[in-house]
Amino acid sequence: MTQEQLNRFSVISSLIDGHITVREAALSLDLSERQVKRLKKGVMEEGPEFLIHKNTGRSPKHAIPKETKEKIIALKLSEPYKDANFKHFHELLAEHEGIILSYSCLYSILTEAGIESPKKRRRFKPHRRRKRKPQEGLLIQMDASPFEWLGTKEQFALHGAIDDATGKIVGLYLTKNECLHGYFEITWQILKKHGIPASIYADRHSIFQSPNASKLTVEEQLAGKVVKDTQFGRAMNELGITLIPARSPQAKGRVERLWETLQSRLPVEFKIAGITSLKQANEFLTQYIDKFNALFAVEA
């Protein structure tokens, strides 16, 4: 018996012997008088064993077998999965290993084994986020992120585009470096699958905006002097797409947060799929976009 059960037995025994009243026993045990009467009757009929819960010493009916726990821990420490954050690993277990359990249960198994999630939550910084656009296609945020996407020490540039209203990825393309070709590829993906957007929000990279654009004086602008568009800028003009330059990384926060998520997930997905080249990666990305959007996109 536990100490709590021993204390109950002592109080109930005093009640049975007539040393205390039902009311006093209830106050002592922090129980209702009805519960105390039930305990008294049970102890009188069955003895102290009545106070021991019938499931004491038994494994819970829905307990996860020890072998399954050991398999989950071994998988998390294995090469394909070791860099996956807990939430991503939870999804991968169901998709690739056929192991389905609640996230809270998985979290308990891994933390009790001394495993920490590679992705830790940042300290919350209160700030006002710009409201999403009300309709899909009104604004596309576009950017590129250099990172060790293929799990090697070599960095590649992932070009990406995300719809502001829904958070859908509408284009992904991996190249050696950030370049015009990469941005034309994701623009082609947008046009082919979603149509022509109203505007594109991008940084002030020379691909999007001539370095001379910021050098024009007010007088020169009033005199009608203009700077020639870049190749990308001319293409957007032909399509009737407004190209909006962002003044800071924070201004295009949705695509910046997209990189955080993809940097945590994509290298793991590439590793599981056995991807080692840019060609393989770009073929995989065309399918991965739909998988990502099913998890993270929202209604406009």
The domain spans of the chain are 3-51, 66-113, 140-296
Report pLDDT digits (tens) over 203-248.
Answer: 888 899 877 665 556 565 556 555 678 999 999 999 999 998 887 6
Residue 54 binned pLDDT confidence (cut-offs 50, 70, 90): low
Provide the pLDDT for residue 123: 56
Provide the pLDDT for residue 218: 58
Q: For the whole prediction, is pTM greater than 0.85? A: no
- What is the mean pLDDT of the segment spanning 189-193? 96
Provide the pLDDT for residue 61: 57
- What is the mean pLDDT of the segment spanning 187-206? 93
Q: Is the pLDDT of residue 284 over 90?
A: yes
Provide the pLDDT for residue 57: 53
Provide the pLDDT for residue 246: 82
Residue 250 binned pLDDT confidence (cut-offs 50, 70, 90): low
Residue 226 exposure: Cα atoms within 13 Å on the Cβ side: 5
Report pLDDT digits (tens) over 101-152.
Answer: 899 999 999 999 999 887 655 555 555 667 888 899 999 999 999 999 998 8
CATH architecture of 140-296: 2-Layer Sandwich (3.30)
Residue 166 binned pLDDT confidence (cut-offs 50, 70, 90): very high
